[in-house]
Amino acid sequence: MKRQFILPVFTGLTTAVLLSIVQLMVERPVILFERFIPGAGWIEIILIAFYASWVSSNMQDKSKQAKWRVRTWLIFSVVFFSQLLLGIIGFDRFLMTGELHLPIPVMIIGGAVFRAEFGFMPILFLTTVILSGPAWCSHLCYFGALDAAMSGKKAAAGRKWSFSGPFKLSVLILVVLVALILRLFNVSVLYTTIIASVFGLAGLGMVFFISPRKGRMMHCIHYCPVGTLVNYIKFINPFRFRIDETCTSCMRCTSVCRYDALEPENIKNRKPGMTCTLCGDCMSVCRPGSFYYKFPGLEPESSRKLYLGVTVTLHAVFLALARI
């Protein structure tokens, strides 16, 4: 088999296997087509598997990786929110459980703490971090896709906010403390939902009004507690991203990094910042080819393709399954 076909075949087959397990093992139909026509879930699985192969085939080219990442991420967000809208107006087959839930990332953390249970979303979130590190923040989060779209095509010039780290950590701690207090005082679900909604609306305000002005993903970088948690726990995943000594410090990479991970001090130290999501956008503009993925026992290019295979598979599976 020619090497250029290995990644698309791997991605397509893995996607098909994972979705087939869901189709066979879950009692209530989860695959969307299956909810409308018995047996049609297999057609959707085949279509999603071919889609995963097509995406990974295009992303093999380093110069196209950034473009296809943004495209597929936005596709996922549009599909997710379209199904949510259809669910809201009464088509409950487009909802995972048939009931509406608050679709904001903070609920992954706050909801689990408030309910004192490790439900589906926290498990799904941690699984993605274990498999693909911080790809949640650059390929899978529906809020992140909106933030990326609103922040523009290139990162704006200027230094990052020096207080970003402490602020982000403070927001995460505050979310956990508020959820604990609400649980301790047995506050009703109605009031906790209102509080979470205010938090979510503030995040959307950053997405639509601040990110476009700053040319950076301000919600994801400075506000989202899930993103902060990813920054700290992503190292349980073996994938790493490095800068080698061929770097000329031309700073072209800074113009495409919207995660504040490639500031001058990061380039000088030859190490991306903590907010790096392994998105690989910088590789498309680096003329010396100084950026590379690292995985134990593999060469850089093999590491990159393995990362793409895992991440695109997760994206395709999420595309088929991610609903409220």
pLDDT tens, position by position, 35-61:
999 999 999 999 999 999 999 999 999
- In whole angstroms, give the CA distance from residue 40 to residue 36: 8
Statement to judge: residues 113 and 65 lie in one domain? no
> What pLDDT, on a 0 to 100 scale, did the predictor assign at position 214?
82
Domain boundary among 207, 235, 263: 235
How many angstroms separate the Cα of 36 from the Cα of each of 87, 307, 320?
A: 14, 34, 14
Q: Each residue of 86-129: pLDDT tens digit?
A: 888 888 888 876 555 677 888 889 988 998 887 778 888 999 99
In a domain, 240, yes or no: no
In a domain, 11, yes or no: yes
In a domain, 258, yes or no: no
Residue 147 domain boundaries = 101-235
- In whole angstroms, give the CA distance from residue 22 to residue 30: 7
Number of independent structural domains in the chain:
2
How many angstroms separate the Cα of 22 from the Cα of each of 30, 80, 108?
A: 7, 19, 22
DSSP SS3 for 124: helix
In a domain, 61, yes or no: yes
In a domain, 37, yes or no: yes
Question: What is the average pLDDT across 217-246?
Answer: 93
Statement to judge: residues 33 and 133 lie in one domain? no
In a domain, 40, yes or no: yes
Q: Cα-flanking dihedrals φ and ψ of residue 230, to 5°?
A: -60, -40
Statement to judge: residues 215 and 141 lie in one domain? yes
Question: What is the average pLDDT across 72-78?
Answer: 91
Label residue 164 exposed, middle or buried (CB < 10 Å: 0-12, 13-18, 19+).
Answer: middle
pTM of the model: 0.90
The answer to whether 310 and 278 have CB atoms below 8 angstroms apart is no
Domain boundary among 235, 263, 285: 235
DSSP SS3 for 228: helix
280: left (phi over 0), alpha (psi -120 to 50) or beta: left
**In degrees, to the nearest 5, what angle opens at C-alpha 139 toward C-alphas 210 and 285?**
80
Statement to judge: residues 217 and 161 lie in one domain? yes
Residue 213 has pLDDT above 80, yes or no: yes
In a domain, 285, yes or no: no
Domain boundary among 235, 252, 286: 235
In a domain, 276, yes or no: no
pLDDT bin (cut points 50, 70, 90) of residue 202 is very high
Statement to judge: residues 125 and 222 lie in one domain? yes
